[in-house]
């Protein structure tokens, strides 16, 4: 059974680093004290993620 934190400290940051007509590069920084799982991300008809991303606590930028 996963342990659910009673509180989350820190920040989860996301910014667009670059983009063009075919791709977009995001910078995701997890400064929280828990793991973040990104299951799906969509932006209209054009932005989709093709797999799940797991970002551990205090992880380096993805």
pLDDT given for residue 25 in this prediction: 83
Rounded Cα distance, 2 and 54, in Å: 15
Above 80 in pLDDT, residue 41?
no
Q: Are 19 and 46 in contact (CB under 8 A)?
A: no
**If pLDDT is split at 50, 70 and 90, which confidence band does 32 have?**
confident
Rounded Cα distance, 32 and 54, in Å: 13
Tell me which of 45 and 24 has the higher pLDDT.
24
As a whole number, the mean pLDDT across the chain is 78
Q: Which residue has 């989709």 as its token pair?
A: 48
């Amino acid at each position: 059974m996963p342990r659910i934190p009673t509180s989350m400290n820190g920040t989860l940051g996301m910014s667009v680093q670059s983009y063009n007509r075919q791709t977009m590069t995001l910078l995701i920084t997890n400064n929280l004290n828990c793991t973040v799982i990104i299951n799906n991300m969509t932006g209209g008809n054009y932005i989709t993620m093709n797999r799940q991303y797991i970002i551990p606590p205090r992880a380096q930028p993805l």
